[in-house]
A and B are shown apart, each in its own frame.
Chain A
């Protein structure tokens, strides 16, 4: 790649094609040392599922241990804030386990002593109503995924300045028969990363699932973005799980103040 004086980025064609091929062949020859290092790295990067408090690992798949009929996943800080203040505030939720993993992006080098605050994913189940995690695994299971994305990723003919952000869009699998509480995501927009993986898995295994994607222009924890998820509370998936909305709003405000990051770059 090369940049020109006027700032466009132009791909420079490589005329040393044959040289590159020779270098690749040399790299393929692996010593036993390389193999050892690679195996150690693979062991370090394994995802571990741990039972709560006892920290022993869950050999059995989590869904078989706690079969459930409604599985709600929140990805991203705004979606997690919505879930923890509105849904998990009503009723008693118990931590069922957590998932910990390590890869080269993590800042700690030590994998054995990761504290519970560094878990990447916490699993919770409703203590008072075990039937939410009911007795028919996978047959009646419905999955709801909540996530956020920046509004500039939303492809539309209108300019992003005129969009009523934050706004909600939905995407559902073929087996999900209930109506969504907001318009469906139009083409050519696509879903990325973990929500896309979960939705694809559900589509392939014919599990009814729905993804609620909130397009917002504030990616950090923000009251208005979290409140944009409120229409979901009236859907069948989350009905009955939320009782006290004013209290939830108070909890949300507290969460905001504790998590406020002070930055002097933007006034």
Chain B
């Protein structure tokens, strides 16, 4: 049945599916895994870095991008798009222009919810035009608003967006989300370091080669955004492994 109603975006199937949108969600699963966590005073974005080809300039392969950078007030909106790289570039450009346009028009920086709604509306438009296909990307958008409250939003190719406490997108997102559901507790996000460790632990569930393939960025309240270098991520990974060993030793002592 699917093959007769999935060639055009503007055709519903008899049982109400928009197959092109569902297929676009499959395209997202081909990208790397990304995780976003909203702590009490911090937001964390982590993504699996695929290994770069030898001759490729590594500096140009950044996945976490800033949509808006409020230098004077030290607010920022960070995002990561997972799915088709070219689609991500196009949407990021549009979102960045919208951020500046908003600032010039109303003299206020965008709220995280506003820019998420803009991106989601853009994606939805492409599910309703003839001759265009949906964007094959999902996004995690994080930042702090004027009121100092941390936010994390997720959008998907259909144009829906929701606020989350912690979420994952991309390859094996379900595994990571289940890990987060079990481990996102008040203790786990009590301190900034704990939130960062939770993000790294969640990624390590699915990242195949450990800390050197993780890209991480954080924003603390009233501080500019910080991108972690590979060494800093490694430090956290070593600490996590040490804690794991200690926990296992305690377990074996108890059982003995």
Contact = CB atoms under 8 A, between A and B. Distances in A.
Interface of A: 3, 6-9, 152, 161, 164-165, 217-218, 222-224, 253, 256-257, 260, 262-267
B25 interface: yes
A223 to B, nearest CB: 5
B7 A152 contact: no
A190 to B, nearest CB: 16
A3 B5 CA distance: 12
Interface string B42-68: 000000001111001000000100000
Contacts of B82: 267
B208 A9 contact: no
Given A152-B26, A260-B51, A267 B208 contact: no
Given A7-B10, A267-B88, 7 more contacts: A165-B174, A222-B171, A257-B51, A262-B53, A262-B56, A266-B83, A266-B85
8 closest A-B pairs (Cβ-Cβ)? Answer: A7-B8, A267-B85, A7-B7, A266-B30, A266-B31, A262-B53, A223-B208, A256-B208
A152 B6 CA distance: 14
Contacts of A223: 206, 208
A80 B32 CA distance: 23
Interface in B78-99: 81-86, 88
Given A7-B8, A7-B10, A257-B209, A262 B26 contact: no
Contacts of B171: 217-218, 222
Contacts of A3: 7
Nearest to A161: B25
B85 A257 contact: no
A8 B29 CA distance: 26
Q: B-side binding surface: helix, strand, loop or mixed?
A: loop
Interface residues of B, number: 35
A70 B8 CA distance: 49
B3 interface: yes
A265 B84 contact: yes
B53 A266 contact: no
Interface of B: 3-5, 7-11, 25-27, 29-32, 50-53, 56, 63, 81-86, 88, 171-172, 174-175, 206, 208-209
Given A164-B174, A218-B29, A8 B84 contact: no
Contacts of A161: 25
A224 B26 contact: no
Contact of A8 (B5, B25, B30, B32): B5
Given A6-B8, A7-B10, A224-B172, A257 B208 contact: yes
Contacts of A165: 174
Nearest to B5: A8
Given A6-B10, A7-B8, A257-B208, A266 B3 contact: no
A217 B30 CA distance: 8
A263 B81 CA distance: 16
A267 B30 CA distance: 8
Contact of B206 (A164, A224, A266): A224
A217 B29 contact: yes
A260 to B, nearest CB: 6
A114 to B, nearest CB: 29
B80 to A, nearest CB: 9
B129 to A, nearest CB: 12
Given A218-B171, A224-B172, A264-B85, A256 B10 contact: no
Nearest to A262: B53
A8 B50 contact: no
B27 A266 contact: yes
18 contacts: A6-B11, A7-B10, A8-B4, A8-B5, A8-B8, A9-B4, A9-B7, A217-B171, A218-B171, A222-B172, A224-B175, A253-B208, A253-B209, A256-B209, A257-B51, A260-B50, A262-B53, A266-B32
A201 B8 CA distance: 41
A38 B206 CA distance: 51
Given A260-B50, A262-B53, A7 B11 contact: yes
Nearest to A223: B208
A166 to B, nearest CB: 9
Contacts of B88: 267
B3 A9 contact: yes
B105 to A, nearest CB: 31
B51 A262 contact: yes
Given A9-B7, A161-B25, A267 B209 contact: no
A267 B10 contact: no
